[in-house]
Structure 1
Amino acid sequence: MSQQGFTTSEDHWITLRDGTRLATRIWMPDCAQDRPVPAVLEYLPYRKRGGTEARDESTYPVFAAAGIAGVRVDIRGSGESEGVIDGEYTPRELSDACEILEWIAAQPWSNGNVGMMGISWGGFNGLQVAALRPPQLKAVISIASTTDRYNDDIHYKNGTQLSAQASWAGTMLAYQSRSPDIAVAGESWREMWLDRLESEPFFMAEWLAHQRRDAYWQQGSICENFADVTVPSLVIAGWADGYRNTPLKAIEGIGDTAKALIGPWVHKYPHFAWPRPRVDFHAEAIAWWKHWLEDGDTGADNLPQMRAYIIDGARPLLRREVDPGFWVAKQRWETPQNDLYGVSAGGALAPGEENEGTGLHFLRSPLDTGTASGDWFTTAPGPELAGDQRPDNGGSLCFETAPLEEEAVYLGMPELVLDVRCSADWENLAARIIDVHPDGTETRVCYGVLNLAHRNGNAAPEAMPHDEPTRIRMQLDNMGYRFGPGHRIKIALSTSYWPLILPSPDAPGLMIDTGSLRLSMPLLGAHERITLPEPANPDPLPKYDMPSPAQSRREVVRDLIAGVTHYRLQEDTGAEVHPVHGLQMQEIRDEDWSISPDDPQSMRADIKWTTIQSRPGWEAVTKITSTLSCTRDQWLVSARVSAFENGQPLFSKTYEKSIPRDFM
Structure 2
Amino acid sequence: MTERSFTVIENQWITLKDGTRLAARIWMPAGAEADPVPAVFEFLPYRKRDGTSARDESTYPVFAAAGIAGVRVDIRGSGESDGVIDGEYTELELANACELIAWIAAQPWSNGSVGMMGISWGGFNSLQVAALRPPALKAVISIASTTDRYNDDIHYKNGCHLSAQLSWAATMLAYQSRPPDPEIVGSHWMEMWMERLENEPFFMEEWLSHQRRDAFWQHGSISEDFPAVEIPTLVIAGWADGYRNTPLLAVEGLGEKSRALIGPWVHKYPHFAWPKPRADFHGEAIAFWNRWLRGEKNGIENLPQVRAYILDGPKPAPRRDTDPGFWISKREWNRPEMQCFYVEQFGTLVEGLPIPHAPAHEVYLRSPLDTGTTAGEWFTLKPDAELAGDQRIDDAGSLTFETLPLADDQSFLGRPELTVTLRCDAELANLCARIVDVHPDGSATRVSFGVINLAHCDGNAEPKALAPGESIGIRLVLDACGYRFGKGHRIRLSLSTAYWPTVLPPPVDPGLTVDIASLGLAMPKLGEHNVFEMRQPDNPDPLPAYIQHAPAETGRDVTRDLSGNRTDYHILEDTGLFEHPDTGLATRQRREELWSIRPDDPLSMTGVSTWTCDMRRKGWSVRTISTSRISCTARDWLISASVLAYDGEKQVFEKTFGKVIPRDLM
Report the TM range for the smaller structure's normalisation: over 0.9
Partner of 1:303: 303
Where does 1:187-202 land on structure 2 (aligned, <5 Å)?
Answer: 187-202=187-202
State which drifts further: 461-470 or 474-483: 461-470
Q: Would the aligned equivalents of 1:636 and 1:659 in 2 still touch at CA under 8 Å?
A: yes
- The reply on whether 1:539 has 2:549 as its aligned counterpart is no
Partner of 2:590: 588
Residue segments in structure 2 that go unaligned for 5+ positions in a row: none
Partner of 2:376: 374
Q: Deviation digits for residues 189-229 of structure 1, max 9, x if unmatched?
A: 00000000000000001110000000000001000000000
Deviation at 1:417, TM superposition (A): 0.2
Structure 2: distance between partners of 1:314 and 1:298:
36
- The reply on whether 1:478 has 2:483 as its aligned counterpart is no
Q: Would the aligned equivalents of 1:37 and 1:67 in 2 still touch at CA under 8 Å?
A: yes
- The reply on whether 1:49 has 2:49 as its aligned counterpart is yes
Deviation at 1:31, TM superposition (A): 3.5
Partner of 1:421: 423
- The reply on whether 1:652 has 2:654 as its aligned counterpart is yes
Partner of 2:6: 6
- The reply on whether 1:469 has 2:471 as its aligned counterpart is yes
State which drifts further: 104-113 or 456-465: 456-465
The SS at the match of 2:9 is: strand
Tell me the C-alpha RMSD between the 2 structures: 1.0
- The reply on whether 1:291 has 2:298 as its aligned counterpart is no
Partner of 1:17: 17
The SS at the match of 2:279 is: coil
Q: Would the aligned equivalents of 2:22 and 2:81 in 1 still touch at CA under 8 Å?
A: yes
Amino acid aligned to 2:592: D
Q: Deviation digits for residues 627-661 of structure 1, max 9, x if unmatched?
A: 10000100000100011101101010000100000
Structure 1: distance between partners of 2:538 and 2:193:
42
Where does 1:125-140 land on structure 2 (aligned, <5 Å)?
Answer: 125-140=125-140
Deviation at 1:155, TM superposition (A): 0.4
Structure 2: distance between partners of 1:584 and 1:397:
50
After TM superposition, the runs of 4+ consecutive aligned structure 1 residues lying more than 4 A away are 354-358
| Alignment CA distance shift 1:31-1:530 (3 Å) | farther
State which drifts further: 221-230 or 293-302: 293-302
Structure 2: distance between partners of 1:135 and 1:266:
33
Q: Would the aligned equivalents of 1:274 and 1:321 in 2 still touch at CA under 8 Å?
A: yes
- The reply on whether 1:404 has 2:400 as its aligned counterpart is no
Where does 1:43-442 land on structure 2 (aligned, <5 Å)?
Answer: 43-355=43-355, 359-442=361-444
The SS at the match of 1:286 is: helix
Structure 1: distance between partners of 2:564 and 2:175:
35
The SS at the match of 1:335 is: coil
Deviation at 1:354, TM superposition (A): 4.2
Q: Would the aligned equivalents of 2:343 and 2:354 in 1 still touch at CA under 8 Å?
A: no
Give the alignment's TM-score, normalised by structure 1. Answer: 0.99
Amino acid aligned to 2:503: I
Same amino acid, percent of matched pairs: 62
Where does 1:536-575 land on structure 2 (aligned, <5 Å)?
Answer: 536-575=538-577
| Alignment CA distance shift 1:354-1:657 (3 Å) | closer
Q: Deviation digits for residues 41-77 of structure 1, max 9, x if unmatched?
A: 0100000011100000000000000000000000000
- The reply on whether 1:508 has 2:510 as its aligned counterpart is yes
- The reply on whether 1:613 has 2:622 as its aligned counterpart is no
The SS at the match of 2:32 is: helix
Deviation at 1:4, TM superposition (A): 6.7
Deviation at 1:188, TM superposition (A): 1.1
The SS at the match of 1:32 is: coil
Deviation at 1:528, TM superposition (A): 0.7
Partner of 1:452: 454
Structure 1: distance between partners of 2:116 and 2:262:
19
The SS at the match of 1:403 is: coil
Q: Would the aligned equivalents of 1:343 and 1:358 in 2 still touch at CA under 8 Å?
A: no
Partner of 2:490: 488
Amino acid aligned to 1:41: F
The SS at the match of 2:191 is: helix
Q: Would the aligned equivalents of 2:354 and 2:520 in 1 still touch at CA under 8 Å?
A: no
Residue segments in structure 1 that go unaligned for 5+ positions in a row: none
Deviation at 1:244, TM superposition (A): 0.2
Structure 1: distance between partners of 2:659 and 2:80:
30
Structure 2: distance between partners of 1:357 and 1:441:
34
Deviation at 1:11, TM superposition (A): 3.4
Partner of 1:625: 627
Amino acid aligned to 1:119: I
Structure 1: distance between partners of 2:649 and 2:574:
20
The SS at the match of 2:49 is: coil
Deviation at 1:34, TM superposition (A): 2.7
Structure 1: distance between partners of 2:553 and 2:360:
49
Structure 2: distance between partners of 1:134 and 1:237:
25
| Alignment CA distance shift 1:522-1:583 (3 Å) | same
The SS at the match of 1:430 is: strand
Q: Would the aligned equivalents of 2:437 and 2:445 in 1 still touch at CA under 8 Å?
A: yes
Structure 1: distance between partners of 2:665 and 2:222:
27
Structure 2: distance between partners of 1:339 and 1:327:
21
Structure 1: distance between partners of 2:317 and 2:132:
44
Q: Deviation digits for residues 329-359 of structure 1, max 9, x if unmatched?
A: 0011011001000000111011111455981
Q: Would the aligned equivalents of 1:22 and 1:75 in 2 still touch at CA under 8 Å?
A: yes
Q: Would the aligned equivalents of 1:361 and 1:512 in 2 still touch at CA under 8 Å?
A: yes
The SS at the match of 1:139 is: strand
Q: Would the aligned equivalents of 1:278 and 1:535 in 2 still touch at CA under 8 Å?
A: yes
Q: Would the aligned equivalents of 2:329 and 2:532 in 1 still touch at CA under 8 Å?
A: yes
| Alignment CA distance shift 1:422-1:358 (3 Å) | closer
The SS at the match of 2:86 is: coil
Structure 2: distance between partners of 1:67 and 1:607:
43
Amino acid aligned to 2:532: I
Give the alignment's TM-score, normalised by structure 2. Answer: 0.99
- The reply on whether 1:599 has 2:595 as its aligned counterpart is no
Deviation at 1:9, TM superposition (A): 0.7
Structure 2: distance between partners of 1:298 and 1:45:
34
Structure 2: distance between partners of 1:537 and 1:319:
23
Structure 2: distance between partners of 1:216 and 1:410:
35
The SS at the match of 1:255 is: helix
The SS at the match of 2:169 is: helix
Partner of 2:523: 521
| Alignment CA distance shift 1:648-1:365 (3 Å) | same
| Alignment CA distance shift 1:298-1:4 (3 Å) | closer
The SS at the match of 2:164 is: helix
Q: Deviation digits for residues 405-432 of structure 1, max 9, x if unmatched?
A: 1111100001000001011112000000
Q: Would the aligned equivalents of 1:357 and 1:514 in 2 still touch at CA under 8 Å?
A: no
| Alignment CA distance shift 1:633-1:555 (3 Å) | same
Alignment: residue pair count:
662
Structure 1: distance between partners of 2:242 and 2:231:
25
Structure 2: distance between partners of 1:87 and 1:555:
32
Amino acid aligned to 2:661: I
Structure 2: distance between partners of 1:365 and 1:474:
19
Partner of 1:498: 500
Amino acid aligned to 1:315: K
Q: Deviation digits for residues 451-484 of structure 1, max 9, x if unmatched?
A: 0000111000021121111001100000100011
